[in-house]
Copies of this chain bind each other. A is one copy, B any other.
């Protein structure tokens, strides 16, 4: 039969050290290939040079096997989560297709562990409880749980995630070709979590990651949010309008750390700032005004309405004051911030208010020269309002380039910011300790005691 134009399609189904069940014992395989991005990049590039249609990754959302005698002799227990792997491969290739298996549910712990391996220890997870109804509706819920329940649930969720990150001790994977033992079964720990909100067996099918745990970031500023952060966060991303607010928050949260056996330096507080940078103050001001003029009233009102917890403000005149508003189930700290703002500054109209928050959504806007911006960051830093800042450039890429080229050198001249990275991991650069695996810790304490 004639097949003149029809050609064969080829997929490269890739799997750690190979498909043969004993491939990892073959002398020429890359023993730690399962979690080495360079290995997969090489494979995808081999396939792409040969004009394959696609690379293809299988997956399962847990270790498939409960038979430890067999499992510990195979190289299937630690590998990248395929979606993050494919995303990285999209950068290392240009033509070849990228296919991954995905079952119906995913695991936050697994994605971040995978990303931590991919990036060599540079990942961080900003844990949020989600406060919008539209998000809830995408997951079969009619509405969000109440504020307090969300925090309870978040605490338990974090326990599950960190528990899964400790599934494997750091030295669990011995990969001994001679004996055929791939991992030490005694260093695998099944979580078996059963709490009010989650039932998760574990273990994770990714080895403990370079940072032990990806850095845990939080953003809640309510009392419940502060307490959760004091107990569990390593970075807090927060919004402040004034130095006094920032100092009070800093003092309060750092003061809560002791009751969880933590030191002040174990948690970095990083407020967001929105810098508008000019060579002169007038130039900076003109740049800012030009941006503000582009805000359509529909956009400003909607933003304000969201910050008040969903109250429709379209019935009130934009030139008039903000009306008294009921408390809602939305994010507490954002509402408070807005009310403080309205009270503090006399005679602010609805339009004034939305213009004030439109750019930075409650974070501080700093309009000035590189020197005056550096002055302000230095003051907040030295007077213990912040350990650092999350830079929210008003527009990209220009705003970030200006900050990098104008403000950073000024901070460096003052000895306030690094001139070289301290290390290769995010923890090392932030000055955060690497968490010990809870099971290794227990074993160590048992030996010592």
Task: Known A12-B400, A299-B74, A302-B67; judge A37-B91 contact (CB<8 A).
Answer: yes
Q: Using Cβ atoms and an 8 Å threshold, which residues of chain B touch A114?
A: 87
Chain A contributes a number of interface residues (CB within 8 A of B) equal to 174
Contact A13 B91 (CB under 8 A): no
Contact with B along A363-392 (1 / 0, CB 8 A): 100000000000001000110000111111
Which one of A99-107, A224-232, A320-328, A340-348 is at the B interface? A99-107
Q: Using Cβ atoms and an 8 Å threshold, which residues of chain B touch A41?
A: 91
Task: Known A50-B403, A296-B180; judge A95-B65 contact (CB<8 A).
Answer: no
The CA of A433 and the CA of B308, in the complex, are separated in Å by 47
Contact with B along A386-422 (1 / 0, CB 8 A): 0111111111111111011100100100011111110
Indicate the member of A11, A96, A398 with the most B CB atoms within 10 Å: A11
Q: Using Cβ atoms and an 8 Å threshold, which residues of chain B touch A14?
A: 393, 396, 400
Task: Known A42-B397, A140-B200, A411-B8; judge A132-B64 contact (CB<8 A).
Answer: yes
CB nearest to A123 among chain B residues: B98
Contact A8 B381 (CB under 8 A): yes
Contact A90 B88 (CB under 8 A): yes
Tell me, rounded to whole Å, the shortest Cβ–Cβ distance linking A7 to chain B: 6
Tell me, rounded to whole Å, the shortest Cβ–Cβ distance linking A278 to chain B: 15
Contact A408 B13 (CB under 8 A): no
The CA of A83 and the CA of B1, in the complex, are separated in Å by 48
Contact A97 B70 (CB under 8 A): no
7 A-B pairs besides A18-B394, A20-B360, A95-B421 with CB distance below 8 A are A22-B294, A28-B398, A33-B396, A51-B418, A66-B134, A86-B115, A140-B199
Whether A301 is near chain B, meaning CB under 8 Å from some CB there, is yes
